Amino acid sequence: MPMDLQSCANVNSPKSENTYKKWLVSETMRRQCLLLVICGWVFFTLLFVLRLKEYDAKPPTLDNTVTTYIKKLKLQDESLLTDNQPTESPLNEVDSHWDTVHNERRSHLENVCKNTSLRNLAHTSLTKFVLDRIFVCDKYKILFCQTPKVGNTQWKKVLIVLNGEFKSIEDIPEALVHNHEKNGLYRLSSYSAPDVKKRLNAYFKFLIVRDPFERLISAFKDKFLKNPRFEPWYKYKIAPAIIQKYRRNRTETKGLQFDDFIRYLGDPNHKWLDVKIGESIIHWATYVELCAPCEIKYDVIGHHETLEKDAPYIIKRAGINNLVSYPQIPPGITAYNRTKIEQYFAGINKRDIKRLASRFQGDFKLFDYAEPDFLLN
C-alpha cells in the first residue's frame, strides 16, 4: 500500500481518533485556565488602583476598639502627669468676695478688743497654756491655734501632710492625729521667747470659731456621751467631780447630765475644780483663754458655720493650695442648729443660762455671734 494511503489509514483508525480527542480537551482546559488567570490579574489590578485612590483621598481610620484603647492610654498618661496635684472640687474654690468678709471679721474683732468694758472677758496673757494651743509649720510659715470642737482634727491632718510625713490626708492613721508625741506637730511653746516673737510677727496665723453654746453641746456629747477616742478619765474622773459639786438632785444616780455640766461651766469660781482635775480642759475653755485673739493678730478667723468657704480661703491665703486640700465636709454638718440648742437648754434654769452666757460673753462679742437671748424669753 502507498505511504500516504497508509497515513490516512492510521489517522482514521479508532486509536488515533481517541488520542486527538484527548489532546483537544487538554488544549481547551489550558486555554480556559489561562483566561481565568488573566481575568483574575486584571480584577486585582483594578482593585488595587481603586484602594490606592481611596487612601490618597482620605486617611485610614481605626476601628472603635483600637480608638477607645488609645484614648484610655492617653488619659492614663495625663493622670500620671497630674498625680501629685490636688483635685479641684467645689470645696477648693475660693469665693471671690471672701476677702471682704474676713476684713470685716478682723475689723470687728479689733473694735471689740478696744472696748474697755470687756477687758476681763476679751483679754488674756500669752501664757504657756496659750502657746501650747498653737501648732507650728516652719516649712510653710503657718501658725494654727487649736480650738476644740470646731473641726480641728482636719486642720491637724493638713499640717501633718505639709510637714512631709504623709503624702495625703487619707494616708494618716486616725490615732496618730491626736498622739502629740508622734504626729510631728510642734507647738509654739517649744520655742525660745525670741523665736516665738519672730514667728508671731512673720507667720500666717489663723483660728476657727463656732457658736459658743453649740460648741459646748458638742463637747458634752463627745466627752461624756459618745467618747469615740476612748478617754475614760472624762467618765471616771471629771464627771464624778462635777456631779459631787454641782448636782442638785442627789437622788439622781445617772451619769453626768447636761444641767450638771452647765452649772459647772457657769460657776464664776469653776477654776478651782479645773485645778483639782489637773488642768484647764481645752474642750470647753473660751476662745479668749485658748488663743488670746486680742493679743495675737490673726490673719484669718474662720467660722465653723462657713467652713465650706473658709477652708479653701485659708489654704489659698497660706499659699499651700497647690500642696494640700481640706477634706470633704459632710453636708449640713457645719450649719448652725438653733433647734438643737433649744432642746438641750429646755430644762436648764434661766439663772444658770445667764451665768453661762456671762462667762462666754467675750466669745460672743469678739466673733460677732448673737447672744442666746431666745433661751431666756
* Tens-digit pLDDT profile for residues 157-213: 999 999 988 989 999 998 899 888 889 999 999 999 999 999 999 999 999 999 999
- For residue 257, the cross-strand partners are none
pLDDT band at 315 (very low <50, low <70, confident <90, very high): very high
Per-domain residue ranges for the chain?
3-60, 97-375
Which residues are CB-neighbours of 328 under 8 A, at least 6 positions away? 89, 91
CA distance 98 to 283: 29
Distances (CA, A) of 315 to 146, 196, 199, 227: 16, 23, 18, 30
Distances (CA, A) of 137 to 133, 143, 156, 339: 13, 6, 10, 39
Percent of the chain with pLDDT over 70: 75
First and final CA of the chain: distance in angstroms? 157
The pTM of this model reads 0.74
Grid coordinates belonging to 249:
438632785
Q: Is residue 66 over pLDDT 80?
A: no
DSSP 257: -
CA distance 269 to 361: 16
Q: Which residue has the cell 488670746?
A: 292
Q: How large is the average pLDDT for residues 286-312? A: 97
Higher pLDDT, 91 or 175: 175
Q: Is residue 153 over pLDDT 70?
A: yes
DSSP 274-290: HHHHTS--GGGS-HHHH
Q: Residue 313, exposed/middle/buried by CB under 10 A (0-12, 13-18, 19+)?
A: buried
pLDDT tens-digit map of 255-272: 999 999 999 999 988 877
Count each helix (H run) and each strand (E run) in the chain, helices first.
19, 5
pLDDT tens-digit map of 216-259: 999 999 999 987 777 888 888 899 999 999 998 888 889 999 99
* Size of the chain in residues: 377
